[in-house]
Structure 1
Amino acid sequence: MKYFLLTLGCQMNLSDSERVASVLDAAGCTKVDNEEDANIIGILACSVRQKAIDKVYNKISKWNKWKNNKNLITFISGCILPADKEKFLKLFDIVFAMPELPQFPKMLGEYGVTNPLSLIAEPNNTIDEIQLFWNVKPKYDSNFEAFIPIQNGCNKFCTYCAVPYTRGREVSRPSQEILDEVRSLAEKGYKSITLLGQNVNSYGLDKKGDELTFPELLEKVGQIGEEVNKEFWVYFTSPHPRDMTDDIFHIIAKYDCLGKQIHFPIQSGDEKVLIKMNRNHSLEKYRKTMQSFRSILPQATVFTDIIVGFTDETEEQFENTRKAMEEFKYNMAYIAMYSPRPGAASYRWEDNIPLEEKKRRFAVLSDELQKHTYEYNKSLVGKTIKVLIREKDRKPGYLSGHTAGKIVIRLESDDLSLIGQIVELKVTGAARFSIEGELVEKTVNC
């Protein structure tokens, strides 16, 4: 049997898809790159964004028509709201929650797919389910970049967010498993490793006294970096401002292997909107944390998330967000136009900012962002920096990668052996969202 996987949404879904692929491979199936060639087609869905759900409906409508001419099994998992799940049960052959992945081979067996896997022991509760899921060894999509889930779920209940309803409450993965996976990947030569969670800096708080805290986990990761004689960078996403502490910044500064970049969502620069979003932190708290970050890690970059057009957001409140962008000078911002999601608290409220106004605000923030990204990128021109080469660039004859601070950089080269290597480049040019460089030395550390 041949299978095709479509992954939508965040990096957590990408990580989950690697475990789905591992289970299907172990069941004797073969992955293909084109959905037309597959007998089993699955989606890792994302109920957090309406656009992603719309894509699911478009795909399954097409795939179900194919069943008139070929044998085809369809399945869906990922981040799915209960309301969406009810609809998907009528459209897909198999619908399962991600913690149920170890039972997936049995589900396929009911459709006549024979496989050599025996059923993994039945879980006793939700935490057992998640642990069994984490025990599935992922089939990494890359041989130099990897994602490591460190927790599942979210306890924050931001009013706009569906994640607590799609993934449940926070459960921390055992730290020894995480550290073993980091060490294994580093020793195999992986160059970029990202620790994943909905609120990574609340890691361990659900097992207080019995598990490491997030700063302690980072410290252990840093020590692995000193022990393994290979160069690699470790990142994490996403932290929450409420739980962010200065000791995290000091630990990042202490160890070379901890990437000098953080993703630090602000969502809004207005106090009243932050309260309405139930973010449970003030703008002043965010500001003080950013000041500490800049003081302790002056060379590091910072990315953020922002929502425009949240329910009742006034022009003055939006202007406060623009001022916050001007103040904090982000290196990247992922700006989203608000769309209500069933299950989230804000779904009950009127979505009363017109789409055209949301688009205008999106454009204003995009313009503000570009001012600061361009200034920062220009400051790198003439410097020699380390870069992870990731892939062929869209521009013929070029490769692309990112710096330790995750700034995108292009290199004029057709040497594909550089892909997956950390090299030194001299920065020769700058654009708004990227820089360009020339090779100084082929590899720093293989």
Structure 2
Amino acid sequence: MKYHLVSLGCQMNASDGERVRSVIENMGYQWTDNEEEANLIGILACSVRQKAIDKVYSKIHKWNLWKNKRNLITFVSGCILPSDLDKFLKLFDIIFQMKDLPKLPEMIQQYGITTPVGLQQGFDSQNENISEFWHVKPSYTSEFEAFVPIQNGCDKFCSFCAVPYTRGREVSRPSDEIVTEVQSLVERGFKSITLLGQNVNSYGLDKKGDEIDFPELLRRVGNLGNQLNKEFWIYFTSPHPRDMTDEVIEVIAQYKCLAKQIHLPIQSGDDKVLIHMNRKHGMEKYRQIVHTIKCLIPEATLFTDIIVGFTGESDDQFENTRKAMNEFKYNMAYIAMYSPRPGALSHRWFDDVSLDIKKERHHILTQDLKIHSKNYNSSMVGKTYRVLVKGQAKHDGYLAGLTEGRINVRFLSQEENLIGQFVDVKITSAADFSVEGEMITIKESVA
């Protein structure tokens, strides 16, 4: 018996997928890359983006046609809005929430006996018993990179976002479990570990007095790095500017294993648009955070998220976002054209920015980003960087990897045994979003 799983959307779904794989494989199913030979096919949906939902419908249409020729069970989970849920009930054999993942074997044995009433009751309490999900041991898809969830849900209620309605309110995972999982991964040789949550720097705020906060969690992981004396990088995503404190930045600066790369979503560079988005922070607050990062961790790279064409965004307001792009000189920005999502507050508002204008603004920001990224990458030429080798590059004869700041690097080598290892690369040339170099040494991690 074989299975196939498709994960759409963000890293949270990718991380959840590793636990889904573990449960399915414990039932005796074997993974296949070819969905056409699978007996069980699932998809982790993402209602946050319309393109992701469109892909779900495309996939399930094809899979249901296959049922005319062979036995096949389909399931869906992930970030699902009630409006999408109602439609999925008619298309999939099994629908479940992540908190109910331990019950998936029973659902499969019953061939997907899912009642709309029972399922809706479950979606009214998304994070109830979420600890059972966290206790599922993941089947990691990489031997050197891993995700470690530290919380689930969101309390911010940005007007454009559906996550609070798909994942529920914020619930923090016990810190002892997090540190234990990180330690286990490092001892097994993992080199890159990402702490995951919708708003990681609000970790512990839902359990005041009963749990540590995010800076202390980072400190404990940093101390773990000192104790284990192994080479690895710890990342986290995504923080929210509202809860980002100087202490978080101070802790990152203090510990070697805490990667000097920060993803700080700005969404817009205009204060009025930020209010409309219900972001609960202004540009001055954001500017202070970036200033602190530059002062305490001058070598850190800065990534962000930006939405163009949000409801009511004027030309002048977009220009303020462009000014922010040019002020902060991001190494990478994930730029999205706004699209209303059912369930989010902004879905009630008229989407008054045309698609053509959104495309134009997206293009303009992307061109600005290229300039700043290329300038930074050019400053790397002649310097040597530690690189985690991730795999073969698109160009034959080259390997590809990432610096600690997550800058893409390629270098001439056909030694596949280097994949998953750290190497030193001297940068020789730069492009818009990547650099090229020459490997000069291979330094083994200290055991």
Normalised to the residue count of structure 2, the TM-score between the two structures is 0.96
Q: Report whether the alignment pairs 1:438 with 2:443.
A: no
Q: Distance in 2 between matches of 1:397 and 1:81?
A: 45
| Change in CA separation of 1:374 and 1:112 when aligned onto 2, cut-off 3 Å | closer
The answer to whether residue 444 in structure 2 is matched with residue 427 in structure 1 is: no
Give deviations 1:149-198, integer Å, cap 9, x for gaps: 00000000000000000000000000000000000001111000000000
Per-residue deviation, 1:442: 1.9
* Structure 1 residue 128, shift from structure 2 partner: 4.7
- Tell me what 2:117 maps to: none
Task: Give per-residue Cα distances to partners, 1:15-71, cap 9 Å, x unaligned.
Answer: 000000000011111111110110000001100000000000001001100000010
Give the structure 2 partner of residue 134 of structure 1: 134
Q: Secondary structure at the match of 1:43?
A: strand
Amino acid at match of 1:399: L
Aligned to 1:235: 235
Local SS of the residue matching 1:303: strand
Question: What's 2:36 paired with?
Answer: 36
- Distance in 2, Cα, partners of 1:78 & 1:110: 21
- What value does the CA root-mean-square deviation take over the aligned residues? 1.3
Secondary structure of residue in 2 paired with 1:102: helix
The corresponding residue for 1:21 is: 21
Q: Give the percent of matched residue pairs that are identical in Structure 1 and Structure 2.
A: 64
For residues 260-288 of structure 1, the C-alpha deviation after alignment (integer angstroms, 9 at most, x for no partner) is 00100000000100000000001011001
Q: Deviations over 1:95-135 (max 9, x none)?
A: 1111110110100010299xxxxxxxx9xx75552000000
Q: Distance in 2 between matches of 1:56 and 1:278?
A: 29
Match of 2:72 in 1: 72
Partner of 1:360: 360
Q: How far is the alpha carbon of 1:239 from its aligned partner?
A: 0.2
Query: Judging changes above 3 Å, is the alpha-carbon distance between structure 1 residues 144 and 112 closer, same or farther for their aligned structure 2 residues?
Result: same
Any idea what SS the aligned residue of 1:432 has?
coil
Name 2:180's counterpart in structure 1. Answer: 180
Q: How does 1:47-446 map to 2 (within 5 A)?
A: 47-111=47-111, 127-445=127-445
SS at match of 2:129: helix
SS at match of 1:292: helix
Aligned equivalents of 1:28, 1:234: Cα separation in 2:
33
- CA distance change for structure 1 residues 112 and 344 in 2, over 3 Å: closer, same or farther? closer
Decide whether the 8 Å contact of 1:424 with 1:444 is kept in 2: no
Q: Any conservation in 1 of the 2:127–2:167 contact (CA below 8 Å)?
A: no
Code of the aligned partner of 2:147? F
CA distance in 1, matches of 2:399, 2:86: 44
Q: Deviations over 1:177-232 (max 9, x none)?
A: 00000000011110000000000000000000110100000000000100112100
List per-residue Cα deviations over 1:133-158 (Å, max 9, x = no partner). Answer: 00000000001000000000000000
Where in structure 2 are there 5+ consecutive unaligned residues?
114-121
Q: Distance in 2 between matches of 1:28 and 1:285?
A: 52
Distance 1:133 1:367, change over 3 A: same
Distance in 2, matches of 1:228 and 1:142, equals: 21
For residues 234 and 320 of structure 1, the distance between their equivalents in structure 2, rounded to whole angstroms, comes to: 33
Q: Is structure 2 residue 40 aligned with structure 1 residue 45? A: no
Alpha-carbon contact 1:43-1:56 (below 8 Å) kept: yes
1:438 partner SS: strand
Equivalent residue pairs, number: 436
What letter matches 1:81 in structure 2? L
Q: How many Å apart are 1:241 and its aligned residue? A: 0.2
1:119 maps to what in 2? none
The answer on whether the counterparts of 2:93 and 2:112 sit within 8 Å (CA) in structure 1 is: no
Query: Matched residue of 1:136: which SS?
Result: coil
Q: CA deviation at 1:402?
A: 0.4
Per-residue deviation, 1:411:
1.0
SS at match of 1:4: strand
- Decide whether the 8 Å contact of 2:400 with 2:410 is kept in 1: yes
> Normalising to structure 1: TM-score of the pair?
0.96
Contact 1:152 1:167 in 2 (8 A): yes
- Mapped to 1, the partners of 2:3 and 2:131 lie a distance apart of 25
Q: Which residue of 2 aligns with 1:116?
A: none
Q: Which runs of 5+ in 1 are unaligned?
A: 114-121
Q: In 1, are the aligned partners of 2:201 and 2:239 still within 8 Å (CA)? A: yes
| Conserved? CA contact 2:94–2:111, under 8 Å | no
* CA displacement 1:59-84 (0-9 Å, x = unmatched): 10011000000100000000111110
SS at the partner of 1:280?
Answer: coil
